[in-house]
Amino acid sequence: MTAVAASSAELLVVSAARLMAGRNLVFIGTGLPMLAAALAKRTCAPELVCVFEFGGIGSPLDKLPLGVGEARTFDRAWAAEGLSGIMETAQRGLVGDGFLGGAQVDPYGNLNTTVIGPHDRPKVRLPGSGGGNDVGSLCWRTIILMRHEKKRFVEKVDFVTTPGYLTGPGARERAGLPPGTGPWRLLTDLALFDFPEKTRRARLIALQPGVTAAAVAAETGFRYDSLSDVGRLPEPTETELELLRDVIDPERAFL
């Protein structure tokens, strides 16, 4: 057995890596998505093709990049595109999944990375969209990765930086976004949610190891549905944790 139990960040990374199983083109953002992609390529998804906002496509991720524009995202990559070329690739429908995070998320999967408080007089000004809006608008499926805190899980985001299902079923299509796109999963260090077609509101489908449904409810600031038989995500394996700690991120850049 692994000597040290998995941290909340490690639970999130391992669960995200397992969602990348199979062969796919996937938009990868800075931080935990990079760790998850690197772990997936070493375990459940060796043929995963990583796409980075600033142009790198297909890096094997032997060395962990520290940002989406860093040189290691181009190391032995299949291609080195520019920003516009990457977004055109997504617009053509060639990028399957996009992994995103945010400061706030609401029950329809809308994300805020712009401001906390009123836009013109914010309490906090955040980094903004970057490629987040494009990824959430154009990829077939969006997977949202979040630390689960009540202040982040709100009934209405202060600013819609990246569209989820906006106000509910059909709202994305009415806004002109490609049909069939949108949030697929919301994964946190406490739980996993999906977005059923009938409501497009977050629905609890599984709990992280050792987490109770009551703990999820206490840290969620909006109403959500639940499966009648909520599942349990598997524990990280010893191999997965050793890869994360000793091979992928030994300097603890993100863990």
Residue type, 39: L
Q: Averaged over 181-189, what is the pLDDT?
A: 97
Q: List residues with catalytic annotation.
A: 53
Please name the residue that has the structure tokens 């009540």.
150
Summarize pLDDT for 35-59 with one digit per residue, the tens.
999 999 999 999 999 999 999 999 9
What per-residue confidence (pLDDT) applies to 42? 96
In the structure, what pLDDT confidence band is assigned to residue 3 with cuts at 50, 70 and 90? low
Token match 């390529």: residue? Answer: 41
- Residue 239 belongs to some domain of the structure: yes
Residues 126-166: tens digit of each pLDDT: 999 989 999 999 999 999 999 999 999 999 999 999 999 99
**Whole-number average pLDDT of the chain:** 94
Q: In this predicted model, what pLDDT tens digit does every residue of 187-215 receive, in sequence order?
A: 999 999 999 999 999 999 999 999 999 99
pTM across the whole model = 0.94
| CA–CA distance, 25 with 158 (Å, rounded to integer) | 31
Strand pairing class (104-105; 97-100): unpaired
| Per-residue confidence (pLDDT) for residue 1, from 0 to 100 | 46
**25, containing H or E segment:** strand 25-27
In the numeric block, which tokens belong to residue 74? 């181009």
Instruction: State percent of the chain over pLDDT 90.
Output: 85
Domain count for the chain = 1
| CATH for 215 | 3.40.1080.10
Residue showing tokens 């930086």? 161
Q: Following CA atoms 131, 136, 138, 142 in sequence, which dihedral angle do they give, to the nearest 10 degrees?
A: 120
Confidence of residue 24 (pLDDT cuts 50, 70, 90): confident
Asked whether residue 254 is domain-assigned, the answer is: no
Give CA–CA dist 20/141, Å, rounded: 12
Pairing of strands 104-105, 111-112: antiparallel
Distance of CA 240 to the CA centre of its chain: 19
Q: In this predicted model, what pLDDT tens digit does every residue of 71-88 receive, in sequence order?
A: 999 999 998 988 888 999
Q: Is 3 within the bounds of a domain? A: no
DSSP string covering 135-163: HHHHSSEEEEEE---TTTB-SS-SS-SB-
DSSP 177-240: PPTT-SEEEEEESSEEEE--TTT-S-EEEEE-TT--HHHHHHT-SS--EEEEEEEEPPPPPHHH
Burial class, 1, CB count within 10 angstroms (exposed 0-12 / middle 13-18 / buried 19+): exposed
Asked whether residue 222 is domain-assigned, the answer is: yes
CA–CA dist 151, 174 (Å, integer):
30
Give dist(CA 12, CA 225) in Å, integer. 21
Q: Tell me if 70 is assigned to some domain.
A: yes
The answer to whether residues 48 and 26 touch, using CB atoms and an 8 Å cutoff, is yes
Domain, as residue range, for 37: 8-248
Q: Is residue 43 one of the residues assigned to a domain? A: yes
Q: How far apart are the C-alpha atoms of 250 and 91, rounded to whole Å?
A: 36
> In the predicted model, is pLDDT for residue 243 greater than 60?
yes
pLDDT, residue 136, reads: 95
Token pair recorded at residue 154:
């709100």
The reply to whether 1 falls in a domain is no
Q: What are the pLDDT digits (tens) for 105-135?
A: 999 999 999 999 999 999 999 999 989 999 9
Pairwise CA distance, residues 131 & 124, whole Å = 20
